[in-house]
Structure 1
Amino acid sequence: MKTYQPLIAIACTFLLGCGGSNKQSTEGKEQEESPEFPSELIDFNAYPDNPIFTGTGQPTWDEHIRERGYILKEDTIYKMWYTGFQTENKSLSLGYATSADGINWDRYPGNPVFDGSWTEDMMVIKVDGLYQMFAEGRGDIAHRLSSPEGIRWTDHGSLDIRQVSGEPLSEGPYGTPTAWLENGVWYLFYERNDLGIWLATSKDLQVWTNMQDEPVIEMGPEVYDKYGLAVNQIVKYNGTYYAYYHGTAFEDWHEWSTNVAASKNLMHWTKYEGNPIMGENRSSGILVPDGSGFRLYTMHDKVEVFLSKN
């Protein structure tokens, strides 16, 4: 029987990706079994009434939405967090919406639920009854927030990420954070200028240390992620980790696609040969369980849903 573990419980869900061939030069990878890419994780049909959620188009705090939002399904309720902003006011705020069917959404009447600091490009996981959010702050510096119910958020500040040696990272952005928890260890996937994916770990959510000082997923050589990539989500399915990530084939980053990579150990990744699984600027893909199958939501700069073909 196939098993799916969302970035909660044993592990947490989110992030990572490589590009398209099965060649990733990492020591020892030649001996690893090539991962499979089940059709239920990569083959989707567009819902006919997309988009299902957008900015208001009015002079409200969420006139527009941007970057990666995140969706969790808990029992029978879909929960979505998203970043909103106004044309006249570029300050970003965090919104919250819920849905009984994952299609029709109700904005929380007390929105925005957080505007105490710059928060965008976020992901959310729930561990031991507490929601943990990993997001970009000003300057594309990753930070962590927490909440008891997903509405009242406390900002715990920028993530302290160190090199293997224990020295601080070099100056510059480190964003699009995606976290995974397994066996008491937190794994953090992050990008630097969208030019590669790095992996750091922590046991206390306070200090994160790189597993290696080079990316675990690099740009290219495939065209679709030749000029940039960042992980959105990691899921574990049938004993294999899958990273849903966005990549761009354009030097000016004017269009991004959704792609998938797979790994047996979170370090060595194989890109799906059929990438991208979503093009036409449908990026920031998030996989959500749907009965016996899955849905794929893309979330920048509108929310669209794609239903499994199986």
Structure 2
Amino acid sequence: MKPDDCYKMNGPTVKFYIRFNTSRLLVLTIFLYGISSTLVAEEIRFPDELTKFRPYTSNPIFEAQGPGHWDVKIRERGWILKEEDFYHLWFTGYDGTRQGIKKLGYAWSCDGIHWTRSPCNPIYQQHWVEDMMVIKQGNTYHMFAEGKNDIAQHLTSTDAVNWTRVGALDVRMSDGKPIAAGPYGTPVVWYEKGTWYLFYERRDAGIWLATSPDMKVWTNINNDQPVMLPGPESYDQKMIAMNQLIKYQGTYYMVFHGTAAVQKPSLWTTNIAASQNMIDWVKYSGNPLTRPEVNQSSGLLIPDGNRFRFYTMHNQVDLNLPVVP
């Protein structure tokens, strides 16, 4: 049909032609959307090297010293950072009571398995420090951790041992107003292309994302909504918190822990999710990576040459070795 022929048709014919072509356009749109969705799904992969591990036979590889020491117990997320062939380990030690001040400890290793404690432990005890992570930028180590009452804070160091507290993180809503009063903890920080990204949880009810150009003021993105919520599967239906972010083969991977609503007391599992943009996350269909009955949380994927090791950090440090050669 030539363009001029449209003007030669009567009214009903014109309406039928428009209706017919609109239907064809709708079908084409749905078809293209289906292709797009399939391509997006294909982009999200969960390779075996990030999901398949076996427990190390001599676990735990690190634990509290026990009664009579400053670290009667250790708790929550510790952090392992590998620099070339040297491993750093930061951990929280305390007297075992809920009210006991949480102090920062440090150990090092040449193989990531056998650890030497710092003779200076606890290396920081001026303020409450727990649930920490460390990122190195230039010559400075930046620690982001929970302080008392689960308020996220920032500390810095040039030698990994002597730390200076910068202060509590200033997190704002997208309109610039401070977030509502209350806990905001388990901070995970990522730096990329001149922007700092902060993931944080509030009462383990969801994970939010904020950004900053300089780590001074953090502003929520995603319309102030969480980028991840508990569920819908049972393993993380009650509570979630993020442990780590890595980027592998062009995809972001989040290690997080969760607990099921039916479990009392709460037993935590460690899990993984993936994203192309740090906002839209797909949880691994094979979650959880750890069994609920062993109550292992605060997981970290640590590169070991061409492979990853999988550590869990809560109560004690356990190691899982890669199944993939």
Q: TM-score, normalised by structure 1?
A: 0.89
In the aligned structure 2, how far is the partner of 1:72 from the partner of 1:227? 30
In the aligned structure 1, how far is the partner of 2:229 from the partner of 2:131? 20
1:170 corresponds to which residue?
A: 180
Counterpart secondary structure, 1:155: strand
2:40 corresponds to which residue?
A: 33
- Correspondence 1:76-115 to 2 at 5 A: 76-87=85-96, 90-115=100-125
2:252 corresponds to which residue?
A: 241
Q: Tell me the CA shift for residue 87 of structure 1.
A: 3.1
Q: Tell me the CA shift for residue 59 of structure 1.
A: 1.6
Match for 1:233: what amino acid? Q
1:26 corresponds to which residue?
A: none
In the aligned structure 2, how far is the partner of 1:150 from the partner of 1:220? 37
**Shift in alpha-carbon separation, 1:240–1:48, aligned structure 2, 3 A:** same
Equivalent pairs counted in the alignment come to: 282
Match for 2:46: what amino acid? F
What stretches of structure 1 move > 3 A for 4+ residues in a row? Answer: 29-32, 250-253
In the aligned structure 1, how far is the partner of 2:197 from the partner of 2:38? 24
Match for 2:267: what amino acid? E
Contact 1:244 / 1:285 at 8 angstroms: preserved in 2?
yes
2:212 corresponds to which residue?
A: 202
1:257 corresponds to which residue?
A: 269
- Correspondence 1:1-310 to 2 at 5 A: 30=37, 33-34=40-41, 35-87=44-96, 90-212=100-222, 213-250=224-261, 252=264, 254-279=266-291, 280-310=294-324
In the aligned structure 2, how far is the partner of 1:170 from the partner of 1:283? 27
Larger Rg, first or second structure (1 or 2): 2
Counterpart secondary structure, 2:50: helix
In the aligned structure 2, how far is the partner of 1:278 from the partner of 1:78? 24
With 56-65 and 77-86 compared, the bigger mean Cα shift is at 56-65
Contact 1:227 / 1:253 at 8 angstroms: preserved in 2?
no
Contact 1:59 / 1:86 at 8 angstroms: preserved in 2?
no
In the aligned structure 2, how far is the partner of 1:45 from the partner of 1:221? 27
**Shift in alpha-carbon separation, 1:152–1:204, aligned structure 2, 3 A:** same
Question: Greater helix share, 1 or 2?
Answer: 2
Say which structure, 1 or 2, has more relative contact order (CA 8 Å, 6+ apart): 1
Q: Tell me the CA shift for residue 250 of structure 1.
A: 3.5
Q: Tell me the CA shift for residue 30 of structure 1.
A: 4.8
Match for 2:64: what amino acid? G
1:17 corresponds to which residue?
A: none
Contact 1:224 / 1:247 at 8 angstroms: preserved in 2?
yes
Q: Percent identity?
A: 51
With 30-39 and 222-231 compared, the bigger mean Cα shift is at 30-39
Q: Tell me the CA shift for residue 189 of structure 1.
A: 0.3
Contact 2:260 / 2:266 at 8 angstroms: preserved in 1?
no
In the aligned structure 2, how far is the partner of 1:172 from the partner of 1:87? 24
Counterpart secondary structure, 1:33: helix
CA RMSD of aligned residues (A): 1.4
Once the two structures are superposed, residues 4-58 of structure 1 have per-residue CA deviations (whole angstroms, 9 ceiling, x without a partner) of xxxxxxxxxxxxxxxxxxxxxxxxx958612000000010000000001000112
Q: TM-score, normalised by structure 2?
A: 0.85
Match for 1:268: what amino acid? D
Counterpart secondary structure, 2:316: coil
Q: Tell me the CA shift for residue 295 of structure 1.
A: 0.2
Once the two structures are superposed, residues 63-106 of structure 1 have per-residue CA deviations (whole angstroms, 9 ceiling, x without a partner) of 11000000011111111000000136711110000011111110
In the aligned structure 1, how far is the partner of 2:96 from the partner of 2:210? 36
Match for 2:118: what amino acid? Y
In the aligned structure 1, how far is the partner of 2:39 from the partner of 2:65? 48
In the aligned structure 2, how far is the partner of 1:265 from the partner of 1:32? 15
